[in-house]
């Protein structure tokens, strides 16, 4: 019973955190798109949801720098970052606006390694960031970003259009949140 109660509380946190939050006191200057699985045909449905959401936002922000963050898993034909860069360029984003972080294999590494990419390019890793991911992921993203960057960041919630993935992720994410709270 205690385990079910804990799961229910964590699921509530995931659901409550699953929406866009833009800081009014610090408009975002840099967008970070977190990776997700890449298939032989290109981005998975969840990754495409993230990319399409980012593209919609970037239409109104022609000067925003974009960091694509994600390494290559053993079952992926290329790094998530390379796939995202190619998708964005194919959809009209200038390649010169896109920085790549292609070594990470977890959300924690996405954020830590992106911090180094930002520093290497003279950009601030602070509240001026807008992190894009699916809604189920954002509660954990905010928690980890606060740890690594020292303050709250803005987040942009992408939908999760692939129903089986959405169901699985909403079951998985409370456990990932707990793991990240203690181990990341």
Q: Give dist(CA 172, CA 136) in Å, integer.
A: 9
Q: What does the alpha-carbon distance between residue 36 and residue 110 come to, in Å, rounded to a whole number?
A: 11
Residue 150: what pLDDT?
A: 80
Please write the tens of the pLDDT for every residue from 10-48.
Answer: 899 999 999 999 988 888 999 999 999 999 999 999 999
Give pLDDT, residue 26.
82
* pLDDT mean for each 10 residues of the chain (184 residues): 89 92 88 97 97 97 95 97 98 97 97 95 82 97 92 92 89 93 92
- Please report how many Cα atoms fall inside a 13 Å half-sphere around the Cα of residue 159, on the Cβ side: 5
Residues 6+ apart with CB under 8 A from 141: 34, 107, 111, 131, 133, 155
Gap between the Cα atoms of 136 and 157, Å rounded: 8
41 DSSP 8-state letter: T
């Amino acid at each position: 019973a205690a385990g079910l109660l804990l799961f229910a509380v964590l699921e509530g946190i995931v659901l409550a955190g699953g929406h866009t939050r833009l800081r009014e006191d610090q408009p975002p200057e840099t967008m970070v798109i977190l990776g997700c699985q890449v298939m032989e045909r290109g981005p998975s449905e969840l990754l495409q949801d993230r990319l399409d959401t980012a593209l919609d936002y970037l239409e109104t922000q022609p000067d925003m720098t974009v960091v694509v963050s994600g390494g290559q898993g053993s079952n992926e034909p290329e790094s998530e970052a390379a796939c995202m860069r190619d998708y964005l360029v194919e959809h009209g984003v200038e390649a010169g606006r896109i920085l790549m972080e292609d070594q990470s294999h977890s959300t924690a590494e996405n954020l830590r390694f992106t911090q180094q990419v930002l520093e290497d390019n003279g950009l601030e890793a602070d509240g001026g960031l807008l992190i894009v991911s699916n809604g189920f992921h954002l509660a954990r993203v905010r928690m980890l970003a606060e740890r690594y960057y020292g303050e709250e960041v803005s987040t942009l919630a992408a939908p999760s259009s692939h129903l089986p993935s959405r169901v699985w992720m909403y079951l998985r994410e409370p456990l990932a949140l707990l793991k990240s709270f203690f181990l990341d």
